[in-house]
Structure 1
Amino acid sequence: MTEDLRAQAVKESLHDYLRSNRTELLAKLDGLGERDLRRPLTRTGTNLLGLVKHVASVQLGYFGETFGRPTAVEMPWLADDADVNADMWATPDETSQQIFEFWQYSAEHSDETIRMLDLDSPGSVPWWPQERRAVTLGLVLTRMLAEIARHAGHADIVRELIDGSAGNNDGNLPDQSDDQWSAYRERLAAAAEEAERRYGGRGA
């Protein structure tokens, strides 16, 4: 295999993982009503629709403006005078359908950038410090893989808090009844209490 073909194979593999991570994140919103899509379930307000809005915004920036492909879509939640974390939740004026359409546009625009460029194609991230702005498609692809995977994990936990749904049916999560999961949690809680008794407050 030539160097060019090897690089193309690596790019296609990274792109496949990116699309897979997108699918897993979006699947966590399936079947939920407006309240559950938007409900903040952590101290810092993490919510499902906000995760989708945030990832779509970040993705559009990294695969758009960074590589000279800016978009005409307005993202007021990223403006300098926007509210804190405005990209991490949806206002009542923003419908879930609008957020999903924005997500789809972001994915399509980003996929086009990835298809048309090589891994070593140069770009510049305008919101990074000057000395770090120079990047390649390969670097941005890797960064976005980590970004989406991280937020897909957040979404998995938030969805479990909403209705108990967890995992992505890939066999990595044991298939147990509610009673079995309850007994499992009790065992873990007892182990935590015993560890506290033995070792006190010492951490790693």
Structure 2
Amino acid sequence: MTDAAKADLAAYLQRGREDLLWKLSGASEFDVRRPLTPTGTNLLGLVKHVASVESGYLGEVFGRPFAEPLPWLDDDAEPNADMWATAEESREQLVALYHRVWAHSDATIEALDLAATGTVPWWPEERRHPTLHRVLVHVIAETHRHAGHADVVRELADGAVGLRQTNDNLARIDWPEHVQRLQETADRFRGQAGETT
């Protein structure tokens, strides 16, 4: 793998990070915290979770642990503690934490070759020693997956949509008419086998 390949991977990771944080921009404190799915998915929780995941994969896994304690990841923490912000955890604190995680992760990426191996204690034994390349692909996928969740949650929260600040990537159509057409098409299949509502 070349330095250019590492730079490409780092750029895709950074784009996902920025896209995820952009979904907080302009949203109320209520909207960044409120659960909008049956499992409680919320914007600020997605940021807290992704920061936590990245700190482990691009820190501990390569013997470069992130210096700050993340108590929501402790063995005795409640389940899903990394998926929501407590009343004492501000948006500014969690965004600043994510920025510090980026800096730490970027230093790991810079310091190591893509072929460097780490240890992921929570993975099955046969996959427990991946390369930095493999871990970067994993973290990029995780970050972009959750940025996609944030897209949907933000739209549900206040109607704000778009791929990223510089490119909303939306067709210029009559959205209510489009949604109505989709609903009418779906309604034709209501009551068929496998239908759940």
For 2:133, the equivalent position in structure 1 comes to 138
Per-residue deviation, 1:11: 1.1
Once the two structures are superposed, the pairs formed by residues 12-161 of structure 1 within 5 Å of their partners are: 12-161=7-156
Report the AA paired with residue 170 of structure 2. L
Report the AA paired with residue 65 of structure 1. E
Report the AA paired with residue 57 of structure 2. Y
Q: Distance in 2 between matches of 1:93 and 1:202?
A: 44
Q: Distance in 2 between matches of 1:171 and 1:165?
A: 10
Residues 1:83 and 1:37: Cα distance change in structure 2 (over 3 Å): same
TM-score, normalized by length of structure 2?
A: 0.92
Tell me, yes or no, if structure 1 residue 201 matches structure 2 residue 193.
Answer: yes
The one-character-per-residue Cα deviations of 1:22-41 (angstroms, maximum 9, x if unpaired) are: 11111000012211110100
Q: Distance in 2 between matches of 1:130 and 1:202?
A: 38
**Structure 1 unaligned spans of 5+:** 1-5
Report the AA paired with residue 16 of structure 1. A
Report the AA paired with residue 151 of structure 2. D
Residue pair 2:33, 2:44 contacting (<8 A) in 1 also? yes
Task: Please identify runs of 4+ aligned residues in structure 1 that moved more than 3 A.
Answer: none
**Structure 2 unaligned spans of 5+:** none
Q: Distance in 2 between matches of 1:134 and 1:105?
A: 25
TM-score, normalized by length of structure 1?
A: 0.89
- Of 165, 169, 172, which residue of structure 2 is paired with 1:172? 169
SS at match of 2:41: coil
Q: Distance in 2 between matches of 1:120 and 1:172?
A: 35
For 1:3, the equivalent position in structure 2 comes to none
SS at match of 2:190: helix
Moved more, 165-174 or 86-95: 165-174
Report the AA paired with residue 7 of structure 1. T
Count of matched residue positions in the alignment of Structure 1 and Structure 2: 193
The structure in which a higher percent of residues are helix is 1
Per-residue deviation, 1:72: 2.2
CA RMSD of aligned residues (A): 1.6
The one-character-per-residue Cα deviations of 1:51-92 (angstroms, maximum 9, x if unpaired) are: 000000000100001111112201110111111100000000
Q: Distance in 2 between matches of 1:85 and 1:149?
A: 20
Q: Distance in 1 between matches of 2:127 and 2:182?
A: 44
